[in-house]
Every structure is written in C-alpha cells, then in structure tokens.
Amino acid sequence: MAKQSWKPGNMLYPIPAVLVTCKGANGEENVLTVGWAGTINTNPPMLSISVRPERHSYELIRSSKEFVVNLTTREMALATDYCGVVSGRDEDKFAKCGLTREKADVVAAPLIAESPVNIECRVTEEKKLGSHSMFIAKVVAVHAEEDYMDEKGKFSLAKANPIVYCHGEYFALGAKVGRFGYSVRKNKKGKKRRGKR
C-alpha cells in the first residue's frame, strides 16, 4: 500500500454532527450545526465547541456564556444540514425544520425535544484560534430520552440511529463491533477474550 503526502489539514474523522442551541443576552434564540465539538474532561465534565466568529450564534453564545449541545439522529439529518447552511439572521430555523423547543433545567437556551440527548453547558473560557473560536464549557445538566433505555435501564444511543459527519457527508453509525474493555475481559473460564483476527 502507498500513501500520499498532503498539506496539513483536519483529517480527524468521523466527527459528531450536533445541533447547538443558544439564547443571547438579548433574548434571541438560535440553533446551528457544529462539527467541531468534543469531550475534553471527565471530572468536572467538560466539552468544547468551535464556532466561526462570523456565525450569527457566535455573539449569542458569547453574550450569554451558555449553550446546549443536542445530539442528532438519522431522522434529524435534514434539519442538521439545514441548520448548518442557513443563517438564523434570516429565519427561525426551529420553525422551518420542525424542531420543538423545550425548557432547560439550568441554562436559558432551549433544548431540542427531538434530540435523544441534550447537554446543557456554561462557558468557562473562550480561545480565539484563528478561523474559529473555541468555547470551553462545563456540563451543568444532561437529558436522555427514555425511549432509548434498554431492558436493563441503560441508555442505548444505538437505538437512536446517531449520525456523524465526514468530508462534507453525513453517515449513520453501523453495527457495534465491541465495547470498552472487551479486548481484555475474561470469559467464564478465566481466560482472556480475544478479538476476531
């Protein structure tokens, strides 16, 4: 196999395609699609999103220092794309996409009812990186849809058909191939399990 050498670029794929809801200090609400989002800390729970300063939602988040990350599903793919290409300056994207606002527990920004998981966040720091500004935030509340609980009462995101983003395209996640620690888990006879070769 031969590999080509390319100029530096963001080749970390796939990435989550999330809908971020926000409410500015002026009371204006908006929803935008964010690809640059990720977990950054466990204790306290923290995540980050990166937003271009020219985006309408940038000033709303900056003024309120709050936002909600709403995970997306196959059924939400059209809305996810739309909210990434149309500006909230021009129309109410909630109404256009049929997204239902729900009141959050802690922050002023609304939750999206159709999302399987909503993560309420408070900004602790903003880092200007160049094309994007990164908002580092603490998670202050999490909401999970009961319909996606399995028979043991554990949340099963796989049931929600989550989507990811890769090189300008959206993909639904496929079949589960393992779970954390399965490569070293012992079977009932005390032998370590081995993955398929």
Q: Could you report the per-residue pLDDT of 40-74, keeping only the tens digit for each?
A: 999 999 999 999 999 999 999 999 999 999 999 99
Residue 32 lies in a domain: yes
Task: Look at 116 and 173; give whichever has higher pLDDT.
Answer: 116
* pLDDT at residue number 47: 98
Q: DSSP secondary structure string, 144-178?
A: E-GGGB-TTS-B-GGGG-BEEEETTEEEE------
The answer to whether the CB of 116 falls within 8 A of the CB of 148 is: yes
Residue 23 lies in a domain: yes
Is the pLDDT score of 19 beyond 50? yes
Is the pLDDT score of 197 beyond 50? no
Residue 150 lies in a domain: yes
Quick one: how far is CA 73 from the chain centroid?
Answer: 11
Question: 70 pairs with which residues across the strands?
Answer: 19, 118
* pLDDT at residue number 43: 97
Residue 86 lies in a domain: yes
**Can you give the CATH number for the domain in which 53 is found?**
2.30.110.10
User: pLDDT digits over 114-162, tens only?
Assistant: 999 999 999 999 999 999 999 999 999 999 999 988 888 888 878 889 9
Task: Look at 11 and 52; give whichever has higher pLDDT.
Answer: 52
* pLDDT at residue number 131: 96
Residue 193 lies in a domain: no
105 CB-side CA count, 13 A: 10
At residue 194 the predicted structure's pLDDT band, cuts being 50, 70 and 90, is low
Residue 121 lies in a domain: yes
Domain that holds residue 81: 15-172
Residue (of 59, 54, 51, 71) closest to 29 by Cα position:
59
At residue 193 the predicted structure's pLDDT band, cuts being 50, 70 and 90, is low
Residue 4 lies in a domain: no
Residue 120 lies in a domain: yes
Mean pLDDT score, 85-109? 96
Q: d(Cα 55, Cα 170) in Å, to the nearest integer?
A: 21
Pairing of strands 169-172, 117-128: unpaired
Q: How many domains does the chain have?
A: 1
Q: What is the mean pLDDT of the chain?
A: 92
